[in-house]
Amino acid sequence: MLPLKPQQRPGPRASWPDLAPLVDDTPAGRLPLAQARLWSLVLRARRVPHRVRSLPGGYTVQVPTRFVRQAVDEITLYQRENISPHPSIPLPPVEERSRPTLMAMLALCAFFVVTHRPWPELGWYPQYWYSVGAGDAARMLGGQWWRMFTALTLHADPAHVASNAVIGGAFLILLSRRVGSGAAWLLTVLAGGLGNVLNVLVHGPAHLSVGFSTAVFGAAGALAALKAVSGEGGFTKSPSGSHSWLLPVAAALALVASLGTAGENTDIGAHFFGLLAGGVLGLPAGWLAVRHGFPNADWGERVNQACGCLAALLLAGAWALGWIFGWPQG
């Protein structure tokens, strides 16, 4: 083989810069697969040469140096014209979304076992728990407002607690994807308590309810509100002219219609008001998540842990008040 003459030797290979840091300051090689595919589709449509590579931390979209400016302009223009003005809420790690919720649902089932078994040596009997913690409207209106939270932890039978644990766990994991498990549980507990209060105010002193389902529908309402605020069902008009915020709201109402009205002893009011309370609380939570990027790597984890502790303290504190002021003596 004859050696190449100096003028025939190839020059250094042209570089292919990563577009992510140039478009939105995303670290190089950290694009999600869906976003990398979308960018590739945009560039392909505009006939911009590029390549997509898989890296240990994510994906990268690269273009030859002389096409960098055109590629950045095309992607930026596409995002400005087609993506909702609300940035998406950052997602916490996968294990953080589900593990605390699974543990909490197991604790809810364990509490059911404890409250349905007599413990003579401790002076605990099933009827005592219901006497102190059930959502008795007359006693709540008389000042025993701890019942708004304690009623969430009591269940009538194994099927009741099992269905709430399974369905509630699913909604809480989905909600945790948006705001972290601690914030998701705080939203859910607050929505459940507020839903119980609204239900009592509407039904009057003759009403009685127990069960976590009010909080389950609260999680569904919060999830719908978060999806609307974050742009997955934004309050802006879609390209077709329809209001896309109707989609998550309609889905939440359909949930009440399909799951919230089944069964002879179903408390439809509790389900509806739980959904309403979750939606009301989810709107500011979604706004904070979008505006401040919660949860994030700097302070989001601490705030999320604080929210989880506060949710647990609300339930524990409510039972403590019931124990002090309502537990039968002797």
Residues 33 and 125 in one domain: no
Residue 1 in domain: no
304 vs 154, residue with greater confidence: 154
Residues 71 and 98 in one domain: no
Residues 237 and 208 in one domain: yes
pLDDT tens digits for range 214-223: 999 999 899 8
Give Cα 29 to chain centroid, integer Å: 27
CB atoms within 10 A of CB 194: 21
Q: What is the pLDDT of residue 242?
A: 42
Q: Which residues contact 235 (CB under 8 A, 6 or more apart)?
A: 228, 229, 243, 245
Q: Which residues contact 294 (CB under 8 A, 6 or more apart)?
A: 89, 90, 179, 180, 183, 288, 300, 303, 304
Residues 269 and 212 in one domain: yes
- pLDDT category, 87, cuts 50, 70, 90? very low
Contact yes or no for 258/268 (Cβ under 8 A) = no
Residues 292 and 246 in one domain: yes
In this structure, what CATH number is given to the domain that contains residue 61? 3.30.70
| pLDDT mean over 234-244 | 43
Contact yes or no for 149/192 (Cβ under 8 A) = yes
Q: Which residues contact 94 (CB under 8 A, 6 or more apart)?
A: none
Give me 229's structure tokens. 């605020």
The torsion defined by the Cα of 225, 226, 228 and 232, in degrees rounded to 10, comes to -150
Residues 218 and 309 in one domain: yes
Does residue 82 register a pLDDT over 70?
Answer: no
Cα separation of 154 and 327, whole Å?
Answer: 15
Residues 69 and 101 in one domain: no
- pLDDT category, 25, cuts 50, 70, 90? confident
Q: What is the pLDDT of residue 330?
A: 54
Select from 54, 82, 110 the last residue of a domain. Answer: 82
Structural domain including 75 reads 14-82
- pLDDT category, 10, cuts 50, 70, 90? very low
Residue 37, helix vs strand vs coil: helix
pLDDT tens digits for range 300-313: 677 888 999 999 99
Give me 105's structure tokens. 């649902």
Most confident of 88-92, 241-245, 268-272: 268-272
Does residue 136 register a pLDDT over 80?
Answer: yes
Residue 8 in domain: no
Contact yes or no for 222/278 (Cβ under 8 A) = yes
- Per-residue burial over 102-130, b if 16 or more Cβ lie within 10 Å, else e, is eebbeebeebbeebeeeeeeeeeeeebbb
Residues 245 and 305 in one domain: yes
Select from 32, 61, 82 the last residue of a domain. Answer: 82
Residues 129 and 192 in one domain: yes
Q: Is residue 62 within a helix (H) or strand (E), and if so which, with residue range?
A: strand 58-62
Residue 212 in domain: yes
Strands 135-136 and 208-209 turn out to be: antiparallel
Residue 9 in domain: no
Contact yes or no for 231/84 (Cβ under 8 A) = yes
Q: What is the pLDDT of residue 274?
A: 93
> Total domain count for the chain?
2
Most confident of 158-172, 226-240, 248-262: 158-172
Residue 216 in domain: yes
Select from 56, 82, 108 the last residue of a domain. Answer: 82
Residues 191 and 66 in one domain: no
Residue keyed to tokens 């006497």: 131
Residues 299 and 275 in one domain: yes
Residue 5 in domain: no
| pLDDT mean over 36-41 | 87
Can you name the residues that pair with 62 across neighbouring β-strands? 18, 51
Residue 89 in domain: no
Residues 20 and 134 in one domain: no
- The DSSP line for 287-311 is HHHHHH-SS-TTTHHHHHHHHHHHH
Question: Residue 111: how many CA atoms within 13 Å on its side-chain side?
Answer: 23
Cα separation of 161 and 311, whole Å?
Answer: 19
- pLDDT category, 45, cuts 50, 70, 90? confident
In this structure, what CATH number is given to the domain that contains residue 132? 1.20.1540.10
Distances (CA, A) of 28 to 104, 288, 300: 37, 27, 23
CB atoms within 10 A of CB 37: 14
Q: What is the pLDDT of residue 152?
A: 95
Q: What is the pLDDT of residue 253?
A: 63
